[in-house]
Amino acid sequence: MLSDGSYFEGFGFGAEGTYVGELVFNTSMTGYQEALTDPSYAGQILTMTYPLIGNYGINRDDFESSKVHVAGFCVRKLCDTPYHYKSDRTVSELLSDHGVGGIEGIDTRSIVRKIRSTGVVPSAIYVGSKKPDFDDLRAKAQKFDYSKTDYVGAVSPTKTRFFGEGKKRIVLIDCGAKGNIAKELAQRGFEVAIVPAYSSASDIGKLNPDGLMLSNGPGDPELLGSIADTIKEFFHIPVFGICLGHQILAKAAGAKTYKMKFGHRGSNHPVLDTKLDRVFITTQNHGYAVDLAGLGKDFEQTHVNCNDNTCEGLAHKSKPIFSVQYHPEACPGPQDSKYLFDKFAKAINDSK
């Protein structure tokens, strides 16, 4: 049920109940397990444009976090008999285990065309054996306001933990980090201290970081001014921001953000690195973008989206401080942009 009253009837899977969120779509052909467990999808009902989902099942290796974060899941056809040597359960079983409902057998093409026309829309999914209350579902959808909820506070850890080993330490501010970010840093020989999103500058400073990483995450970046203020205290060391981290860094540099009509969610988005004069194919998942108006004179745009010219990257003109709107750690997805982790590692290793 969409907030405008239009609705789609299909077959439920996962857990029974009513689920409310912002209806979005992802154009990736694979990677549904990573998407379902990506904290950036908190508060959102995810629609996959690829028609067949679940054919390789769910395995133990491809989780981006410890739980399913989507508010609901919409697919054209769900495969309930997956075939893959790593598979240990179905998509429906995964959602049921985590108390999330989904719907299949609906016209996902129609949903995507609607979102592309009107923008993302508050919606509700009902999964159950009884006839739904259509008026109640519509009221729940209309009442929902994604931009007013602090989802970062909901998905961020409450305690600091450490990952990997190394002589130098990177503090990863976890606003809803995908697990592969810490893995990429650890693979380059760093100890990673993963801290809560709202950690104070004092608490981060006590960890003696050699570099600072700003993770991806859900929600409206305009609610995160306090995190932007915190990271300003660390502009004397290398800083790298990904996705929401890019938006937070932009805010720290004086820029603003705005909500996009339907965002970028998929694994085939072309981005121009203006410094290298090369186009990279990237994985993206964001519904907000950076408005360069107000950007401090010490910063410059370094990456541009080839489809709509939105800002895809920023960097300080003289310090090793930079960010990108997309996911260089993408799994699955194009791995064109892993050089950014190498760039960050080199900046840390070259610093005193």
Q: Which of 64, 243, 246, 312 is catalytic?
A: 243
Handedness of CA 339, 59, 127, 77 (dihedral sign): positive
Report the C-alpha gap between 352 and 348 in whole angstroms: 8
Could you tell me whether strands 311-316 and 321-324 are parallel, antiparallel, or unpaired per DSSP bridges?
Answer: antiparallel
Partner residues linked to 47 by β-bridges:
25, 74
Instruction: List the Cα angle 39/45/48 in 5-degree steps.
Output: 95
Instruction: Note if the bond before 196 is cis, omega within 30 degrees.
Output: no
Q: How many residues does the chain have?
A: 352
Q: Specify whether 327 is catalytic.
A: yes
Q: Does 316 qualify as catalytic in the annotation? A: no
CA angle centred on 35, ends 183 and 223, rounded to 5°: 85
- Can you read off the two tokens belonging to residue 69? 């974060």
Catalytic residue among 34, 191, 312, 329: 329
Q: Which of 69, 286, 303, 327 is catalytic?
A: 327
Locate 48 and state its tokens.
Answer: 């996959």
Catalytic-residue membership of 236: no
In whole angstroms, what is the distance from residue 286 CA to residue 74 CA? Answer: 18
Amino acid identity of residue 58, one-letter, is I
Annotated catalytic residues are 243, 327, 329
